[in-house]
Chain A
Amino acid sequence: MSGRLRRRYERLLFTYPSAYRRAHGEEMIGTLLDAAGPDQQLPAPREAASLLLGGLRTRARQAAQRSPRRLWADGLQLGVLLIVLVNLGHAFHTLSTFPLWIALVALGALAVLSGWTRTALIAATVAALAAARPLLPPVALPW
């Protein structure tokens, strides 16, 4: 039995929501391994395609069942994430001049992606202050 094939199928299952994976992941892996040939090392293309599509469909179905409030929250998070990522892309121009700022923007992006609201707010505030530092009177900030 191939542990490698199992790991590859497990990776493909990441297209499914994590709660769904916890509930059904093991039995899906069992079925996929049952359906695989004895020496098979690579996921069958049609199985891989059906897992990618199935994962996206499951996510879409679950999103459709959520409350409008949750949908707005998800949309807002996605929008903010895009802004933060664009900001991060811009920031790389100034990598040598403002490494602290870039680290903070990167931390902010990670925090927004993970849904850590407080960390994201703190990182964004400090990054904004760090970026604005040249514009502020020299005594205003401790660093």
Chain B
Amino acid sequence: MSSASYFILAALLDGPRHGYGIIKQAADLSDGRVRLAAGTLYGALDRLAEERFILADRQEVLAGRTRRYYRLTDHGVRALQGEAARMEQAARVVTRRSGSAVTTPRLA
């Protein structure tokens, strides 16, 4: 799962959001590392919908702007939790050993 897809799904964990809502939340959750451009966002949303991780929810038009909300499916929640567990395990491989890391002195 790409980092964009991961943070898009994570942005939907606490309820449906529209496009810009997802962009802001993904940026917040990643400390500003994930800055989604619209083309990237909608490409990822298409793929996530194809895999049935998300569903298009309601749509509203405010001041001439259309906003469609997306929400996580149960399948999407499970996929996200699976990915989080996998990353946690992968991180542990390094973090539990970092105290005893053997470094090679650099030769000048």
Contact = CB atoms under 8 A, between A and B. Distances in A.
| Chains A and B bind each other | yes
Interface of A: 1, 24, 26-35, 44, 46-47, 49-55, 57-58, 61
B39 A51 contact: yes
B22 to A, nearest CB: 9
B42 A53 contact: no
Contacts of A53: 39
B65 interface: yes
A33 B67 CA distance: 11
A55 B39 contact: yes
Interface string B26-48: 00000000000111111100100
A61 B43 CA distance: 10
A29 B66 contact: yes
A30 B66 CA distance: 5
Main secondary structure, interface of A, reads helix
Interface of B: 18-20, 23, 37-43, 46, 59, 63-68
Contact of A27 (B39, B43, B46, B68): B68
B67 A30 contact: yes
27 contacts: A24-B42, A26-B66, A27-B18, A27-B59, A27-B66, A28-B19, A28-B42, A29-B65, A29-B66, A30-B20, A30-B68, A31-B42, A33-B65, A35-B38, A47-B37, A47-B39, A49-B37, A49-B39, A50-B37, A50-B38, A50-B40, A51-B38, A54-B39, A54-B40, A54-B43, A57-B43, A58-B46
A50 to B, nearest CB: 3
